[in-house]
Amino acid sequence: MKLKAKILGLEAGGKSVVVLNKEDAEDLSVSSLERVRIVKDNKESIAIVNTATKLIERGTIGLYEEVRTALGLEGEEEVEVEIAPLPSSVYFIRNKLRQRKLTYREIREIVRDMVRGNLSEIEIASFVTALHIFGLDLDEATSLSRAMVETGNTLKIDRYPIVDKHSIGGVPGDKTTILVVPIVAAAGLTIPKSSSRAITSAAGSADRIEVLMPVSLSLDEMKRVVEKTNGCMVWGGSLNLAPADDMFVRIEHPLSIDPLLLPSIMSKKKAVNANLLVLDIPTGRGTKVKTIGDAELLAKDFMELGHRLDIEVQCAITYGEQPIGYAIGPSLEAHEALSVLMGKTSVPDLVDKATDIAGILLEMSGKKNGKALALEILKSGKAEEKLREIIEAQGGNPKIKPEDIHIGEETFTVRSGKSGYLLWINNSSLVEIARLAGAPKDKGAGVRLHKKIGDVVRENDPLFTIYAERDIKLERAIDRLEESYILGVGERMEMLIHEVKEFPVPKKTFMLER
Amino acid sequence: MKLKAKILGLEAGGKSVVVLNKEDAEDLSVSSLERVRIVKDNKESIAIVNTATKLIERGTIGLYEEVRTALGLEGEEEVEVEIAPLPSSVYFIRNKLRQRKLTYREIREIVRDMVRGNLSEIEIASFVTALHIFGLDLDEATSLSRAMVETGNTLKIDRYPIVDKHSIGGVPGDKTTILVVPIVAAAGLTIPKSSSRAITSAAGSADRIEVLMPVSLSLDEMKRVVEKTNGCMVWGGSLNLAPADDMFVRIEHPLSIDPLLLPSIMSKKKAVNANLLVLDIPTGRGTKVKTIGDAELLAKDFMELGHRLDIEVQCAITYGEQPIGYAIGPSLEAHEALSVLMGKTSVPDLVDKATDIAGILLEMSGKKNGKALALEILKSGKAEEKLREIIEAQGGNPKIKPEDIHIGEETFTVRSGKSGYLLWINNSSLVEIARLAGAPKDKGAGVRLHKKIGDVVRENDPLFTIYAERDIKLERAIDRLEESYILGVGERMEMLIHEVKEFPVPKKTFMLER
C-alpha cells in the first residue's frame, strides 16, 4: 500500500514506531502493536504500528523520528507499506511467559531486536516481568550478559590484569569510587572505570565525579586516558557499552523491579574486558539487600556468573544502614571526597570502605597486605596526585580545590527536639529530601549530616542541613520534612518506630543503580 | 513550572500522556513514565511523562489529544506543571509482582486508573503478565469482574429472567449466535446479546451480524430493541459495558496471553444484568481448550464465579476441531446462517449446536425438552420471523434474502491431490488464509469448505474455495497456501503430520475472542 509520510516531529524513545489510520491498518490486516515494513527507494524499516482514528488521515502514515531517520525522509514523500511478520524474538518472549528456559540463540535475538528498536514497550515490560517472577538461572544470566556485550562497544586495552570495582548501590553518599580508582591506579593497576548517573538516587557516581572533571568521554578518549594514567572515571552513557542495559532499566524503573541486576552489571564489566572485579554489596535495612545471608547468596551468584564470563569476582559485603560519610548530593560529595584525598578532613567510614575495596583489588592482583598498602597510598598523597593526573587527562582542572566547588546557598538546618543517641537513619527519606532540594540536576543541592548512627545528640543540636540552589526547591524539600521519618533520636530502648493509623499504601522502594 | 503547551495532534490510545524536554523534566525531578499534574485555569489533568531531547524545546510541553481535551486547550497557551505522586494503583501492581493477593479495593483502584488513562502501557503489561503467570484466584476474579462492571455502563431491563449465551471462541465460522438469539427470543425469553468484533479471527459475531443489520447501537437503542422483540444482536464496542476489557485486550493481544478470560466475560454479562448464562467451551485440537478435562476445570471456574456474581451458569463443552458449518468470513457466514434459518439449506453441525445451546437456556428457565422445543421453533419458521423482527428493530432490511448478500468475486479453489478421507483441518491456518484474503475488513472475503472431517475425498475434488474482494488480497492468500498445513487428506492410518527439518520457531496461537 502506498502512503504519504507525515513527519510527527517526536522521538519514540529509541523504538521504531509509526501511526496508521485505523482503516488503512485494517486494509493492511495489521493491528495496533503489530509490525509493518516501510520501503522508500533502497531503504527500509520495520516499525511497530499505532493506530489513530482522527488525527492521521487515510492515505498517510505518521513517522516518529527513529523511522524518519532510518528512511532518510525529509518531507511528505510517498512510501510503500506492507504487513511484516512478528519478529521471532516476540515468540521467544511468549515462550518465557510459559516458563520455558530460553537458549542463548533466543536471548541474543531478543536483545538484538530490543537494541534495534523492534520490540514494543509492552513486549519488553512483559519479558522483564516474567524474568522478575521466574528468576534467571545462571545459563540465562550468562546468555544475557554475552548478548548485551555483543550488541554494544567493547574497550580493548592491551594490558593484564584489567581490574574494576562496582557497587550494587542503594546507599546514599557513596563516593568510594573517587578514592578507589586513584589508589589502585597509583599502585600500577589498570582500572577503566565507567559509572552511571542517578536514576532514583541523589547522585550517581558519574554525577559526583562530573563536579571534579568532564565525564562524557568517547570510547577512544577513555582508552587514551587509561593508557596514560592507568585509570579513568567516566560516564558509561556515551560509551555504548552494553546499551541494552539502559533500555531494560527504562522499563524496569517504573515497575520497581530489577531482574537483570547480575547480567547488567557483568555485561558492563565484560565490555571493558575486566579480569578482576570486586563487587560491593551494601547490606542492611534501607539498602537493596537486607540480610547478610541474602548478600552471601547474591555474592555466590555473581562469583559463578563471573567464572562463566572469565572474570574473577570477589565480593565485599558492607554496612549500608546509613550514608557513607556526611555528604549527599553531587557537589557536597565531590567536596568531601576531594578533602579526604587531600588529607584535609577525617571521614573514617569512607576511608575504611575505600581502602578495604582497594585492598581487595590489590591482593587479587598478587600484592600483599592490600589494605595497609591502600592506606599508605592514600596517606602519602600518591592517590591525590593520581586523581589530579586523571582529572587533567580527562580535560578538567588538575588544581581544583574543595573551595572551588560550588555548594547551594539556600540552606535549612534541622535540629533535634530531644536528647539521646542517633538510633537510625532512613536512607530513602534522606534521598527524597535531597532530590526535592534539586539533586542530582542541581549539582550544589543535597544534604549534609551532622550526626551519624550512635552519636550522642543533645536537644537543639543540628542533625542535618539541606542545601539547594533555588529557594523554591528548598521549600519543596522542607515541606516534605513533616511527612517523613528521616532519623530517630532517643534512648537505646525506645522501641516504637512509628504508628500505622490509616490503611497503608506500602511504597516499598527498590533502587535501580547499576 | 510554567510551560507553553504544544498540541501534538496525536492520540495516545486513551492514555493521558505528555512530552517534556529532558532538562525541564530534570528540573521538575520527574523521570520518563512518572507523572505530572497540569493545571490550566480551573481544569487539571494527571499525565504520564515521556521525555524528548531535541524535538520538544525547553519551556514547552507536548500534549497528546487526551490531555488537550481534558484541559480544553486550543492553542499554545501557558500551563502550570508540577510533579505528581505515583497513583496508589501502581504500588498495588508492584505488590502483585511480588505475588501478593490483591483486595477488592486495590483491584478497583487499578481498573479505575486504567480506564481513566492514568496507567502506562508498561504498567498494564506488567500487571497482566503477572496475572498470567500467577493466575487469578476466585476472589481476585470476582473483584476484577465487579470493578470492570463498576467502571462502565449497565443495561437495566425490568424483566426476569434475563438470559445470555457466550462462546469463549477459537472455532472459525461459529455463527451459532445468529440462530440462538431468535430461537430463544421467539420462545419468550429476554436475551440482550452483545458481541465483539474479530481481533485475531476471520469474523467476530458483530462482524457477521453486521452483514444482516446495523449493530452499532447506543445503550438506549439496545434497550428499546430488547423491550420490543425480547432480543437483540449488537456490537458491544459502542455500549461502554465494562470498557476496561477492551483496554486489557489491547495489551494482552500482542503478548498472546489471556489471564482475564473469566472476569472479562462475566463482567460483560453482569453489566447486562444477566440471570442465566450458557457458556460454550469449544474443545479439542486447534481451539483454546485442548482436552475435555481442561474444559471441565474451566467450566467449574465459570460456574463458581457466576455463583459469586449471582449469575446461574451452565456450560456446553462442544466439539471444536473444525469450523462450524462450511463458511468462514462475515458475509459467507451471514449467508449460511440466514439460509439455515429460512430452511433453504442443511448444515447439520450448525443446527445441532444452536439447538443444543438454545435448549439449555430454555431448560434453565424452566421449560421442558429444551432441544426439541428449540428445533421446533427453528423448523416452524418462528425463529426466522423473530430474526426479521430484530433486524427491523435494529434498523435493517427485514426482507433480506441470502442472494442480497455480497460475496467477494475473486475466487480460488484448492483441490485434493489424492484420494482418501479428510483427516484433519488446521483451524488457525484457515483463519490466516481468510484474513489474508481480506476478512474481516472486507466483509465478502473468506473461505468456504467443500469437505469436512471424515468426508470421502477423491483426487481433484474441491477442498475449499477462497473468496476475496480484491485480486491483490486473493494473491496474498494464495501465496500463503504453500507454506501452510491447512488440511490433511489420507488413509486413516497415515501417522506423519509433518516433518521438522529446521530449528523451529514455535508460533503457538492463542485466540483472544471474548
Q: What is the pLDDT of residues B416-454, one digit of tens each?
A: 999 999 999 999 999 999 999 999 999 999 999 999 999
Nearest C-alpha neighbor of B21 from the set B60, B47, B63, B48: B60
Nearest C-alpha neighbor of B329 from the set B140, B202, B459: B202
Please report the pLDDT score of residue A140 as a whole number: 96
Please report the pLDDT score of residue B507 as a whole number: 65
Q: Which residues contact B355 (CB under 8 A, 6 or more apart)?
A: B179, B183, B371, B374, B375, B378
Average pLDDT for A116-130:
95
Please report the pLDDT score of residue A449 as a whole number: 98
Is A103 in CB contact (< 8 Å) with chain B? Answer: no
Q: Which of A26, A94, A199 sits opposite B256 (nearest CB)?
A: A94
B312 SS3 class: strand
Dihedral sign from CA coordinates of A456, A458, A462, A464: positive
Every domain of chain B and the residues it spans:
2-84, 88-135, 163-402, 410-490
Is B511 in CB contact (< 8 Å) with chain A? Answer: no
Q: Do domains B2-84 and B410-490 have the same CATH topology?
A: no
Catalytic residue check, B442: no
**Location of C-alpha cell 533535634:** A416
Judge whether residue A328 has pLDDT over 60. Answer: yes
Is B475 in CB contact (< 8 Å) with chain A? Answer: no
Please report the pLDDT score of residue A120 as a whole number: 93
Tens of pLDDT, residue by residue over B75-120, are: 889 999 998 988 999 999 999 999 999 999 999 999 999 999 999 9
A481 SS3 class: helix
For residue A250, which residues of chain B lie inside 8 Å, CB to CB? 32-33
Query: Are A33 and B130 inside 8 Å of each other by CB?
Result: no
- The CA-based angle B131-B133-B136, given to 5 degrees, is 40
Is A34 in CB contact (< 8 Å) with chain B? Answer: yes
- The B residues from 439 to 458 touching A (CB cutoff 8 Å) are 441
Q: Which of A258, A280, A301, A442 is catalytic?
A: A258
For residue B125, which residues of chain A lie inside 8 Å, CB to CB? 121-123, 125-126, 129
Binned at pLDDT 50, 70 and 90, residue A509 comes out as low
Average pLDDT for B313-326:
95
Q: Which of B245, B258, B280, B356 is catalytic?
A: B258
Give per-residue burial for B14-52: e unless 16+ CB within 10 Å, then b.
bbbbbbbbeebbbbbbbbbbbbbebebeeeebbbbbbbb
Which CATH number fits the domain B410-490, given the four candidates 3.90.470.10, 1.10.1130.10, 2.40.50.140, 3.90.1170.30? Answer: 3.90.1170.30
**Chain A residue with Cα closest to B92:** A505
CATH class of B163-402: alpha beta
CATH class of A88-135: mainly alpha
- State how far residue B55 is from chain A, nearest Cα, in angstroms: 6
**Which ranges constitute the DSSP H helices of B277-426?**
292-308, 330-341, 348-364, 370-379, 382-393
Tens of pLDDT, residue by residue over A302-324, are: 999 999 999 999 999 999 999 99
Tens of pLDDT, residue by residue over A142-178, are: 999 999 999 999 999 999 999 999 999 889 999 999 9
Please report the pLDDT score of residue A206 as a whole number: 96
Query: Are A126 and B125 inside 8 Å of each other by CB?
Result: yes
- The A residues from 223 to 262 touching B (CB cutoff 8 Å) are 250-251, 253-257
B68: cell is 488537550
Binned at pLDDT 50, 70 and 90, residue A443 comes out as very high
Nearest C-alpha neighbor of B195 from the set B306, B310, B334: B334
The CATH topology of domain A2-84 is: Barwin-like endoglucanases (2.40.40)
Q: How far apart are alpha carbons B11 and B60 in whole angstroms?
A: 18
Query: Are A507 and B120 inside 8 Å of each other by CB?
Result: no
Tens of pLDDT, residue by residue over A392-429, are: 999 999 999 999 999 999 999 999 999 999 999 999 99
Q: 10 Å Cβ neighbour count for A401?
A: 12
Is B29 in CB contact (< 8 Å) with chain A? Answer: yes
Please report the pLDDT score of residue B514 as a whole number: 57
> By percentage, how much of chain B surpasses pLDDT 70?
97
Least confident of A213-227, A355-369, B283-297, B393-407: B283-297
- The CA-based angle A138-B252-B438, given to 5 degrees, is 125
Tens of pLDDT, residue by residue over B119-171, are: 999 999 999 999 999 999 999 999 999 999 999 999 999 999 999 999 998 89
Is A37 in CB contact (< 8 Å) with chain B? Answer: no
**Chain A residue with Cα closest to B477:** A29
Q: Which residue has the higher pLDDT, A505 or B87?
A: B87
Least confident of B20-34, B110-124, B334-348: B20-34
- The answer to whether the beta carbons of residues A173 and A270 sit under 8 Å apart is no
Tens of pLDDT, residue by residue over A74-98, are: 888 999 999 898 899 999 999 999 9
Average pLDDT for A482-499:
79
Tens of pLDDT, residue by residue over A205-230, are: 999 999 999 999 999 999 999 999 99
Q: How far apart are alpha carbons A468 and A447 in whole angstroms?
A: 9
Binned at pLDDT 50, 70 and 90, residue B211 comes out as very high
For residue B34, which residues of chain A lie inside 8 Å, CB to CB? 254
- State how far residue B287 is from chain A, nearest Cα, in angstroms: 18
Identify the burial level of B158 via C-beta atoms within 10 angstroms of its C-beta, where 0-12 means exposed, 13-18 middle and 19 or more buried.
exposed
**C-alpha dihedral, A360 to A366 to A367 to A369, nearest 10°:** 50
What is the pTM for the complete model shown?
Answer: 0.90
